[in-house]
Structure 1
Amino acid sequence: MKEITLSAERREALCRDVQKTFSTKFDETLSDFRAGEIVDLMLKTMGPAVYNQAVQDVRAHLQGKLDDLDGEVWVDESA
């Protein structure tokens, strides 16, 4: 599987969210480096599972649409 990467902007936003969470919930200030390390760790450990779940969710959604395709676009030929 391809490595999961984030844009610089998204990574920075996640780092800020981690810093805010640690500050408000744990009364701990994280440096940019430490927040980045946490984001990288979470991406490495949880990223593949979240990605795979998203793929399965999309597959189920699209399969439902395909299963309903006849009902949506079927034209009665005898009419």
Structure 2
Amino acid sequence: MQKIELTKDLKIQAINEIKKYFSTERDENIGDLSAELFLDFVTGKIAPFFYNQGIRDAHQYINERLEDLFGLEKSTNI
């Protein structure tokens, strides 16, 4: 799997959210570098679990919709 890449703007937003989380939830002030390193860890090691679950959920959803197609068949009493 390819590494998950964020746009520059999304990366800045994520870093700010991480810093805010550490400040409000843990009463710790961390800098941009620490927040970026934490983000790199999350995107490299944790995010693939969520990505893979999203793939499984999409697969299940599509399969269910494909099964619904059979309900649209017309009667062929010949």
Verify same fold: TM over 0.5.
Answer: yes
Structure-1 separation of matches of 2:7 and 2:14: 11
The alignment-based identity, stated in percent, is 27
Structure-2 separation of matches of 1:38 and 1:62: 34
Structure-2 separation of matches of 1:48 and 1:75: 43
Give the number of aligned pairs: 77
Deviations 1:9-66 (CA, angstroms, capped at 9, x unpaired): 1111111111111000111111111111111101111122111111001000110100
Say if 2:43 is the partner of 1:46: no
User: Which residue is 1:76 aligned to?
Assistant: 75
Structure-2 separation of matches of 1:16 and 1:47: 18
Structure-2 separation of matches of 1:41 and 1:75: 53
User: Which residue is 2:26 aligned to?
Assistant: 26
Between 43-52 and 56-65, report the one with greater CA deviation: 43-52
CA RMSD of aligned residues (A): 1.2
Q: Please, what TM-score do these two structures have when normalized by structure 2?
A: 0.88
Q: Please, what TM-score do these two structures have when normalized by structure 1?
A: 0.87
User: Which residue is 1:5 aligned to?
Assistant: 5
Once the 2 structures are TM-superposed, how far is the Cα of residue 74 of structure 1 from its aligned partner? 2.3
User: Which residue is 2:35 aligned to?
Assistant: 35
